[in-house]
Amino acid sequence: MTTRHRSFSKSVAGFALIACLGMVRGSLAGLGGNITVYADPEASECAVTDDAVGPITVYVFHTNIAVPIYSSKFRVVESAGFSATFVSQNVLFAGYVGSFRDGIDMPYGGCFTGSLLLGTIVYEGHGTSAGCSYIDVAANPNPPGIFPFPAAASCHFDWYEAWPIGKLYVNPVEGECEAKCGSVVAVQGSTWGHVKALYR
C-alpha cells in the first residue's frame, strides 16, 4: 500500500511540474530573448546564397535578452533542401554539452542581457541548395521531452522560451520566402577571455 501511495505521489508531483512548466512557458515568453542563426557577425543578415562551391559561415546569436541569462538549451536544424556539407563548429563558451546540430546545453559563464554571439557553423556549399531552404533553431531533443522549445535559463533559475526571430533562408525566392531578421539590440563581445575576466 505504501508503494502505491509513493507512486501516486510521484505521478501527481510530475503532473504538477509539467503544469507549472506550461504556465511558466506561457507567462514568461519573450523575456529569454531569441536564439537565431544569421549570415553575418553583426546579426543583421538572414539570407545566404549557395550558388557555387565554397564555404558558408553562419553565426549563432542569443539576442534581445530581457532578463539576466546564464545558459541556453537548443538545436540548430537544416531543412531538407539545404545540401551544403557540415564542416565544423566553433562554440565561444566553455563547458557546453553536445553540439549545435545535435542539441547543445551551453553555460555562458556569467549573467548576460542584450545580445551574445554564441558561435559559428561552417558548411561547404555545393551550389545545389533548393530555393527557400533554410537553417533554423529548435528545441534540444536531449534528453527527450524536457522543453518543446529553445530554452534559456535565468540567473534566478527560471526557464524562458528563446524562439528564433526567423529562419536563415538559403537561396531565398522573392514572393515565396521572406528573410526577415527583426530588430536586435547591440551585440556584446563573448570571447572565452571576456568570460574568464568576469571572475578575476
CA-CA distance, 136 to 71, in Å (whole number)?
19
User: Which of 116-120, 128-132, 144-148 is predicted with the least confidence, judged by mean pLDDT?
Assistant: 144-148
Paired with 160 in beta bridges are 152
Q: How remote is the C-alpha of 198 from its chain's centroid?
A: 23
For the ranges 47-51, 93-97, 161-165, 196-200, the lowest mean pLDDT is seen at: 196-200
130 plus 114 within the same structural domain: yes
Please give the pLDDT value at position 8.
35
Contact criterion met (CB below 8 Å) for 157 and 69: no
If you average pLDDT over every residue of the chain, what do you get?
82
State pLDDT tens for residues 82-92.
999 999 999 99
Q: Are residues 7 and 45 in the same domain?
A: no
Least confident of 5-9, 49-53, 111-115: 5-9
Residue 7, domain extent: 1-29
Claim to verify: residue 17 and residue 49 sit in the same structural domain = no
The number of distinct structural domains making up the chain is 2
**What beta strand segments (E) does the chain contain?**
34-38, 47-48, 53-78, 85-91, 97-99, 103-126, 133-138, 151-154, 159-161, 168-170, 187-188
84 lies in the same domain as 35: yes
Whole-Å CA distances, 97 to 32, 105, 165: 20, 5, 24
Domain at 94, CATH number: 2.60.40.680
Q: 154 vs 6, which has greater pLDDT? A: 154
Rounded Cα gap, residues 148 and 79, in angstroms: 18
Using pLDDT thresholds of 50, 70 and 90, give the confidence band for residue 197.
very low
20 and 150 in contact (C-beta within 8 Å)? no
Segment 100-121, tens digit of pLDDT: 999 999 999 999 999 999 999 9
Residues 86 and 154 in one domain: yes
pTM for this predicted structure: 0.78
174 shares its domain with 96: yes
Cα angle vertex 33, ends 26, 90, to 5°? 130
Residue 3 and residue 60 share a domain: no
Identify whether residues 90 and 161 lie together within a single domain: yes
Which bin fits 96, alpha (ψ -120 to 50), beta or left (φ > 0)?
Answer: beta
| 85 and 148 in a common domain | yes
